[in-house]
Amino acid sequence: MANVSNTRGDITSHPDAPEMRARYDRMMGGRDVALVDGPMFLLGLYCAASPWILHYTSSQPSLVVHNLIMGIAIGVLALGFTNSPERMYGLSGALCALGTWMIISPWIVGSSPDTGVVLNSIIIGALAVVMGMICIVTAAKSTSRA
């Protein structure tokens, strides 16, 4: 009878172990911001859809276009962090800038916005700033390790 039991051997003696380890390190090398890119994409999606969710499309038409563009920009940054994080570390500060702009934009782009519109923009902006700061900190840690 054949021995079909699942015995896990030590892979360190495998001839391709160093190459597999190096490939794994290369693939996971820039994934320090993996915690942030999913929520960042959802934040961009919400920012783009928020005028319709909060029903201010008729009262603030300029903010509708603004939030749609800003949401797309945040979403594109998130996709960039997902696809090539090692190349996107330099744009971590851009997310902070987008968040800061979102905080002040209701008064600049909008015309006498109500409290709900202002709070929506402030919360989106604050979350973007926090996520951008997390990306900046992880980028600083990863460059100091290298």
With 90 as the cut, is the pLDDT of residue 128 above it? yes
Q: Model-level pTM?
A: 0.76
| Other Cβ atoms within 10 Å of 100 Cβ, number | 15
pLDDT digits (tens, 9 = 90+) for 15-41: 777 887 777 666 555 555 567 888 999
- Percent pLDDT > 90 in the chain is 52
pLDDT digits (tens, 9 = 90+) for 72-83: 999 999 998 888
Distances (CA, A) of 76 to 79, 100, 119: 5, 17, 24
